Amino acid sequence: MSIPNVFNKRNRVLLKELTKTDFKLRYQGSVLGYLWALLRPLMMFAILYIVFAKLLKIGNDIPHYPVYLLTGTTMWSFFTECTSQGIQAIVSRGDLIRKICFPKYIVVVSATLTAVINMLINLGVIIIFALLNGVTPSLSWLLVPFSLLEIYLLSLGIAFLLGAINVKYRDITSIWDVLIQALFYAVPIIYPISMVADTSIIFAKIILLNPITQAIQDIRYNLITQETVTTWSFVNSPFVKILPIVAVVIILILAALYFRKKSKFFAEDI
* DSSP secondary structure of 60-87: TTSTTHHHHHHHHHHHHHHHHHHHHHHH
By CB neighbour count within 10 A (0-12 exposed, 13-18 middle, 19+ buried), where does 243 fall? Answer: middle
pLDDT computed for residue 176 by the predictor:
95
> What are the distances in angstroms from CA 116 to CA 77, 109, 137, 155, 184?
11, 10, 23, 11, 20
**R_g (Cα) of the chain, nearest Å:** 19
From 222, 160, 163, 228, select the one nearest 192 (Cα to Cα).
228
Q: Which residues of the chain have pLDDT under 50?
A: 1-4, 31
pLDDT computed for residue 38 by the predictor:
67
pLDDT computed for residue 10 by the predictor:
78
Check: CB of residue 52 under 8 Å from CB of residue 59.
yes
- Domain count across the chain: 1
The long-range contacts involving 218-221, CB below 8 angstroms and separated by at least 24 positions, are 218/143, 218/147, 219/71, 219/75, 219/144, 219/147, 219/148, 220/68, 220/71, 220/72, 221/140
Q: Can you give the residue range of the structural domain that contains 91?
A: 3-269
> What are the distances in angstroms from CA 180 to CA 158, 202, 258, 265?
12, 23, 22, 28
By CB neighbour count within 10 A (0-12 exposed, 13-18 middle, 19+ buried), where does 168 fall? Answer: middle
Read off the pLDDT of residues 137-162 as tens digits, 9 standing for 90 and up. 999 999 999 999 999 999 999 999 99
From 3, 169, 162, select the one nearest 85 (Cα to Cα).
162
pLDDT computed for residue 4 by the predictor:
44
Amino acid at 214: Q
- Distance, in Å, from the CA atom of 78 to the CA atom of 83, rounded to the nearest integer, reads 9
pLDDT computed for residue 3 by the predictor:
44
Read off the pLDDT of residues 197-212 as tens digits, 9 standing for 90 and up. 888 899 999 999 999 9
Q: How many CB atoms lie within 10 A of CB 17?
A: 12
